[in-house]
A and B are shown apart, each in its own frame.
Chain A
Amino acid sequence: MDTSLSWIKAYVPDLDCTAQEYTDAMTLSGTKVEGFTEFDKNLDKIIVGKINKIEKHPDADKLVICQVQIDEEGNEVQIVTGAPNVKEGDKVPVVLDGGRVAATHKDGAAENGMKIKKGKLRGVDSFGMMCSIDELGSTTDMYPDAAADGIYILSDNPEYKDAPVGSDAIELLGLHDVSFEYEITSNRVDCFGMLGIAREAAATFGKDFVPPVVTKTGNDEDVNDYIKVKVEDNKLCSRYTARVVKDIKLASSPEWMQRRLASVGIRPINNIVDITNYVMEEYAQPMHAYDLDKIEDSQIVVRRAQKDEKFTTLDGQERVLDDTMLMICDGKKPIGIAGIMGGENSMITDDVQTMLFEAATFDGTNIRLSGKKLGMRTDAQAKFEKGLDPNNAMEAMDRACQLIEELGAGTVVGGAIDYYPVKKEPFTIPYSVEKINALLGTDISEDEMVGYFEKIDLPVDREKKEVFIPTWRQDLERLADLAEEVARFYGYDKIPMTLPSSSATMGGLSDKLILENKVRNVVEAYGFCEGMTYSFESPKVYDKLNLAQNDVLRKSIVINNPLGEDYSVMRTSALGGMLTSLATNYNRRNKDVRLYELANVYLPKQLPLTELPDERVQLTMGMYGEGDFYAMKGVIEEILTRLSLKGTVTYDPAAQKSFLHPGRQAKVIYEGKEIAYFGEVHPTVLKNFAIGQRAYVAVVDLAELIAMPKEAVKYTGVAKFPAMTRDISLMMKKELLAGQVEEVIRKKGGTLVESYELFDVYEGAQIQEGYKSLAYKIVFRAKDRTLTDEEVTNAMNKIITTLEEMGASLRK
């Protein structure tokens, strides 16, 4: 929504403020001004000049030398111009030596304008410049009477013909004005029109609000002799008003109307179109004009469209409708899509004689949905969508007819059609000074509150303690709404600042968030940086991850209205995002990259969704460069340690993840539950993501860990008795895993085994094909005594015997 200051001042004549003051005050009282443009920002020393004499330039064919009168006393300056359209006697805008214009013919528009100085053109002195409309910062769209290519000849316009020479041309052209851009919230339908904003401005600045006085219009004929209206769907059309104008004289609208329209960016066309637009801006009530002679059977029928009904709108496009959409029809055919756009078959053309004016109230939601389905968005539609006040329609209709008469654009036929079966009535809201103050934390008197209500045209009955709510304030429903009216005129800035004084509460994080923070600390200590990726995925990611057709990860939630295919499903794994991020880093030649993400995956319980999915928080890690499979494993082990998860962990190579290297992957089983998997990324997957070196990923299902019982940390005494260590070196088939050997050490060694450490793994020369060698250092210790050699030997023998039974042999 835009307004110009001049248009607001038309209804608040005493308003006297700068553009900045207006912006600040309106924003603080609830009408947010997003910005403003001063049309004369770059215009200075520009007057109405009169060309008294034109001579040829002695040295340039395309230049002429003009003697331009610059005041009523007859003083002249000499100006050389190349413009082709000037003649003696013309009045033109002249920027004098030292003045400024918004643009020049040669260089185009400049952000801070261009200074004009006297100079020589081909040896002839020139003391200023005659201006085109572009040089004045506007366009021929907004000033249709200005020459498209050449100087703006003011005297060609009858309304400017008599402007005094030497007077301010900026003033004459209405360019000492400011355009404000607002952010109007959807609840303030009234503020989508000039009158609504002007009412707010008047209240904000404490000035009188002077709306237009709409007078009675029409001749002694009866509109009912011209047209009948039948509304078949009064749910979608709560009010339909119509009037007829005959003997139409199409012409330009007057300068004041053209200027006001142009000041809010609406292009003046002709008097009829301009009046329609003007009233729409003024009253926030869209209007439509039909050529009555094209309406068959002298009848308007408002009905729903038929399914797949085709209709050509006035922009020449054929639209396909459905039976939810509301149509305006005549006795035989549709002539407009209600509230959105009229039809080509009934539009006003240059030879129009008689027209039908329509001002109706359509259901906002229906208009919005219809517009969406049709892919259309018109100015009228944007206003209807908000849900207009039906009581505004006839007022706007009469205002338009008043302008028709005032502008001499035609003869208004007497009477009006007004289909309005259920009148919307104003109502009252009881107010309580105590309750309003209690909600705001203020101590505002009743007098003050009543003053605020009244200045925004909400009458108050102090006896009954009621505020009268006009129908144009449909945002006001209950006491809290009245409190806001009080607050915004009292001043949000004047409301004190206190802290809640009531009950004390304990602040803190949930157990889940605390656990997440612990995990962050561990992985960051291991060099992983936190990344974030979208929760959406492309369905193509499944193929990139080598997933089997029946893989459970392919079961993902599909977004009905995605931004595009790449963002069309909810991820079941963050690996796609992780590998994409690794690829980004690889592509940018970043070395030794380690990333993690802590975020949800979305696992549907059924498809299509009938209930919310399982949102599981997972830790996803990825790395390339320094580090290998065991580096990743180390991080997982550390996480378990730090989370006090001290139960039995096994690493099972049968993880069966198709996106991981078949020989370098493991799932992590904690107390019988799979809590994580990790491994080297499968070479095909690396290729799919364009990562040119080995990469490793891990996924830890934190959601699972959160639920697991954590062992409380308890101090155990630092060992007082000496330890005994034994080294063993074993030879075994490759298939026998270190994990299996270690299980034997733990089980057979019993409580005496304090710790063990794998210090050598060897395959190759000196070792039989298909075999490997593992060497362990085992530390034995008892808490209560010094172990004897015999005890340790017994334990070792048990371990070795069992290992030998499994096919391992001791290397001597």
Chain B
Amino acid sequence: MKEKLSKIMDEALSQIEASGELEKLNDIRVAFLGKKGELTSVLKGMKDVAPEDRPKVGQLVNEARTKIEAKLEEKKETFEKKLLEEKLKSETIDVTLPGKKLSQGHRHPNTITLEEVEDIFVGMGYQVVEGPEVEYDYYNFEALNIPANHPAKDEQDTFYITKDILLRSQTSSVQVHEMEKGKLPIRMIAPGRVFRSDEVDATHSPTFHQVEGLVIDKNITFADLKGTLQEFAVRLFGEGTKVKFRPHHFQFTEPSAEMDVTCFKCGGKGCRFCKGSGWVEILGCGMVHPHVLEMSGIDPEKYTGFAFGIGLERIALFNYEIDDMRLLYENDTRFLKQF
């Protein structure tokens, strides 16, 4: 009996070992452990075994069953592992094929640039405000210390609707609206469209955008203007950006300046973007002219302030190395989707 069991077990184990596929294992299970299997038939033959030997035989049968089952399980795992490996291998894909995208829209490079500028100034406590694009001559010129027939008016080729109403040629007009509200201190930026009678070409457009800045408070100094705009330049163009202030003239500021930044393409070494100078002119600025304060009802003996005007397109064009301003107003989606 013992030999018989041992033989059955050896036979089963060797068949399992030799089996080549998963399905075969089941056949082996049925052949040995199934209802009509060999081990089962041994159990069925228990009635022929002496009663005192029965527990012993039973134990041997169970041991044999356990061993065969363990072996079956072991072999099954091997097969399954192998199958999984094969399956995974067959499912290999070309990861270099293009990704699938939802067709998202893109913001205009002008808007992206404006948002960067807004973030910087909002972080410094500036309110973002707006003013009318069709404007009274008074706000665009007169209240900015540019009286009727002043030659400075000619420097900006202004579109007129009537004698007194025009398309604003500068966002500086918003300064006056803010000052007239009479709420001090003021820290504002005013982005928006401006209009000048320039023929369309690679660097000119009759419509473009400016961002005006105005700070009015007690004890505001030219040093504050310099510090603020340097902070702005460094945040916009990155650490290491240097600024240079040059004297200039604007009717509504005194002293006035233009600010250059180290060329963000070459870092100041000189390249074709900065025409070899290493510097790029970014904005005009100055201390608000006392007469401008007076006209808007602010006492220049008590309050001082500074103002600046940034050409948005100029920054966008430089930032993205766009060489033709017309692209900004053509709206070719192949252009717009690059930003």
Contact between chains at A523 and B105 (CB < 8 Å): yes
Contact between chains at A595 and B167 (CB < 8 Å): no
Contact between chains at A386 and B332 (CB < 8 Å): no
**Complex interface bits, B219-233 against A, C-beta within 8 A gives 1, otherwise 0:** 111111011101100
Given contact pairs A500-B228, A527-B105, A609-B161, A532 touches B247 in the complex (Cβ within 8 A):
no
Task: Give the residues in chain B near A508, CB-CB below 8 Å.
Answer: 122, 127-128
Q: Give the complex CA separation of A441 and B231 in angstroms.
A: 17
Answer yes or no: B202 CB below 8 A from chain A CBs. no
Q: Give the complex CA separation of A501 and B332 in angstroms.
A: 46
The contact size tier of chain B is 35 or more
Task: Give the residues in chain B near A608, CB-CB below 8 Å.
Answer: 161-162
Within 8 A of A (CB), among B123-138: 123-130, 132-136
Q: Give the complex CA separation of A608 and B160 in angstroms.
A: 12
Task: Give the residues in chain A near B118, CB-CB below 8 Å.
Answer: 509
Q: Give the complex CA separation of A506 and B122 in angstroms.
A: 8
Within 8 A of B (CB), among A475-518: 475, 478-481, 483-484, 487-488, 492-493, 495-510, 512-513
Q: Give the complex CA separation of A520 and B152 in angstroms.
A: 38
Answer yes or no: B254 CB below 8 A from chain A CBs. yes
Answer yes or no: B255 CB below 8 A from chain A CBs. yes
Which stretch (B6-14, B29-37, B323-331) binds chain A? B323-331
Q: Give the complex CA separation of A495 and B187 in angstroms.
A: 22
Contact between chains at B247 and A488 (CB < 8 Å): yes
Contact between chains at A499 and B337 (CB < 8 Å): no
Q: How far is the CB of B197 from chain A (nearest CB, A)?
A: 6
Q: Give the complex CA separation of A530 and B215 in angstroms.
A: 31
Given contact pairs A529-B337, A562-B159, A596 touches B105 in the complex (Cβ within 8 A):
yes
Answer yes or no: B218 CB below 8 A from chain A CBs. yes
Answer yes or no: A594 CB below 8 A from chain B CBs. yes
Contact between chains at A527 and B103 (CB < 8 Å): yes
Contact between chains at B257 and A492 (CB < 8 Å): yes
Partner among A29, A507, A557 whose Cβ is within 8 Å of the Cβ of B127: A507
Closest to B160 in A: A560
**Complex interface bits, A535-570 against B, C-beta within 8 A gives 1, otherwise 0:** 110000000000000000000011111110001001
**Complex interface bits, A242-264 against B, C-beta within 8 A gives 1, otherwise 0:** 00000000000000000000000
Q: Give the complex CA separation of A483 and B107 in angstroms.
A: 44
Contact between chains at A438 and B219 (CB < 8 Å): yes
Q: Give the complex CA separation of A481 and B287 in angstroms.
A: 11
Within 8 A of A (CB), among B158-204: 159-162, 165, 167, 185, 187, 193, 195, 197, 199
Given contact pairs A530-B106, A559-B159, A504 touches B125 in the complex (Cβ within 8 A):
yes
Partner among A479, A533, A585 whose Cβ is within 8 Å of the Cβ of B333: A585
Given contact pairs A507-B127, A570-B134, A484 touches B255 in the complex (Cβ within 8 A):
yes
Task: Give the residues in chain B near A488, CB-CB below 8 Å.
Answer: 247, 255
Contact between chains at B110 and A439 (CB < 8 Å): no
Q: Give the complex CA separation of A29 and B246 in angstroms.
A: 7
Contact between chains at A535 and B187 (CB < 8 Å): no
Task: Give the residues in chain B near A595, CB-CB below 8 Å.
Answer: 331, 333, 336
Given contact pairs A507-B187, A532-B110, A369 touches B149 in the complex (Cβ within 8 A):
yes
Q: Give the complex CA separation of A612 and B166 in angstroms.
A: 9
Task: Give the residues in chain B near A588, CB-CB below 8 Å.
Answer: 332, 334
Closest to B157 in A: A561
Contact between chains at A505 and B126 (CB < 8 Å): yes
Given contact pairs A560-B160, A581-B331, A615 touches B219 in the complex (Cβ within 8 A):
no
The contact size tier of chain A is 35 or more
Contact between chains at B223 and A484 (CB < 8 Å): no
Task: Give the residues in chain A near B108, CB-CB below 8 Å.
Answer: 529-532
Partner among B107, B128, B228, B251 whose Cβ is within 8 Å of the Cβ of A499: B228
Task: Give the residues in chain A near B107, CB-CB below 8 Å.
Answer: 520, 524, 530
Given contact pairs A507-B187, A530-B111, A594 touches B248 in the complex (Cβ within 8 A):
no
Q: How far is the CB of A606 from chain B (nearest CB, A)?
A: 12
Task: Give the residues in chain B near A498, CB-CB below 8 Å.
Answer: 221, 223-224, 226-227
Q: Give the complex CA separation of A442 and B221 in angstroms.
A: 9
Partner among B123, B133, B199, B206 whose Cβ is within 8 Å of the Cβ of A507: B123
Contact between chains at A480 and B104 (CB < 8 Å): no
Q: How far is the CB of A11 from chain B (nearest CB, A)?
A: 22
Closest to A530 in B: B108
Q: How far is the CB of B331 from chain A (nearest CB, A)?
A: 3
Contact between chains at B223 and A600 (CB < 8 Å): no
Contact between chains at A492 and B245 (CB < 8 Å): yes
Contact between chains at A502 and B336 (CB < 8 Å): no
Partner among B105, B155, B332 whose Cβ is within 8 Å of the Cβ of A525: B105
Answer yes or no: B264 CB below 8 A from chain A CBs. no
Contact between chains at B336 and A530 (CB < 8 Å): yes
Partner among B155, B161, B195, B231 whose Cβ is within 8 Å of the Cβ of A557: B161
Contact between chains at A524 and B104 (CB < 8 Å): yes
Contact between chains at B130 and A529 (CB < 8 Å): no
Given contact pairs A364-B151, A507-B187, A530-B111, A592 touches B224 in the complex (Cβ within 8 A):
no
Partner among A364, A480, A535, A592 whose Cβ is within 8 Å of the Cβ of B255: A480
Closest to A626 in B: B103
Task: Give the residues in chain B near A524, CB-CB below 8 Å.
Answer: 104-107
Answer yes or no: B56 CB below 8 A from chain A CBs. no
Closest to A507 in B: B122
Within 8 A of A (CB), among B243-302: 244-249, 251, 254-257, 287, 289-291
Answer yes or no: B217 CB below 8 A from chain A CBs. yes
Q: How far is the CB of B338 from chain A (nearest CB, A)?
A: 10
Q: How far is the CB of A439 from chain B (nearest CB, A)?
A: 6
Which stretch (A185-193, A310-318, A346-354, A644-652) binds chain B? A185-193
Contact between chains at A441 and B331 (CB < 8 Å): no
Task: Give the residues in chain A near B154, CB-CB below 8 Å.
Answer: 368
Closest to A512 in B: B130
Answer yes or no: B207 CB below 8 A from chain A CBs. yes
Answer yes or no: B210 CB below 8 A from chain A CBs. no
Answer yes or no: A762 CB below 8 A from chain B CBs. no
**Complex interface bits, A600-638 against B, C-beta within 8 A gives 1, otherwise 0:** 101000001110110100000000000000000000000
Contact between chains at A484 and B247 (CB < 8 Å): yes
Answer yes or no: B308 CB below 8 A from chain A CBs. no
Contact between chains at A558 and B215 (CB < 8 Å): no
Answer yes or no: A721 CB below 8 A from chain B CBs. no
Given contact pairs A442-B223, A530-B107, A581-B331, A185 touches B248 in the complex (Cβ within 8 A):
yes
Contact between chains at B246 and A492 (CB < 8 Å): yes
Q: Give the complex CA separation of A584 and B230 in angstroms.
A: 41
Contact between chains at A602 and B134 (CB < 8 Å): yes
Answer yes or no: A387 CB below 8 A from chain B CBs. yes
Contact between chains at A513 and B128 (CB < 8 Å): yes
Contact between chains at A501 and B105 (CB < 8 Å): no
Q: Give the complex CA separation of A3 and B245 in angstroms.
A: 24
Listed residue (B150, B154, B222, B331) with the most chain A CB atoms within 10 angstroms of its CB: B331
Task: Give the residues in chain B near A558, CB-CB below 8 Å.
Answer: 161
Q: How far is the CB of A488 from chain B (nearest CB, A)?
A: 4
Contact between chains at A502 and B333 (CB < 8 Å): no
Answer yes or no: A281 CB below 8 A from chain B CBs. no
Q: Give the complex CA separation of A481 and B123 in angstroms.
A: 32
Answer yes or no: A282 CB below 8 A from chain B CBs. no
Contact between chains at B125 and A487 (CB < 8 Å): no
Extra 17 A-B pairs, beta carbons < 8 Å, given A186-B249, A484-B255, A497-B223: A28-B246, A364-B151, A368-B151, A438-B304, A439-B304, A441-B223, A479-B290, A497-B227, A500-B224, A500-B228, A502-B217, A502-B220, A503-B217, A530-B336, A561-B160, A563-B197, A609-B162
What are 29 A-B pairs with beta-carbon distances under 8 A? A27-B246, A186-B249, A438-B219, A475-B249, A478-B290, A483-B254, A487-B247, A496-B227, A497-B230, A498-B221, A499-B124, A500-B217, A502-B220, A507-B125, A508-B128, A530-B107, A530-B336, A532-B331, A534-B329, A557-B134, A557-B161, A559-B159, A560-B159, A560-B161, A567-B206, A590-B333, A596-B105, A600-B193, A615-B134
Residues of B within 8 A of A (CB): 102-108, 110-111, 118, 121-130, 132-136, 149-152, 154-155, 159-162, 165, 167, 185, 187, 193, 195, 197, 199, 206-207, 215, 217-224, 226-228, 230-231, 244-249, 251, 254-257, 287, 289-291, 304, 328-334, 336-337
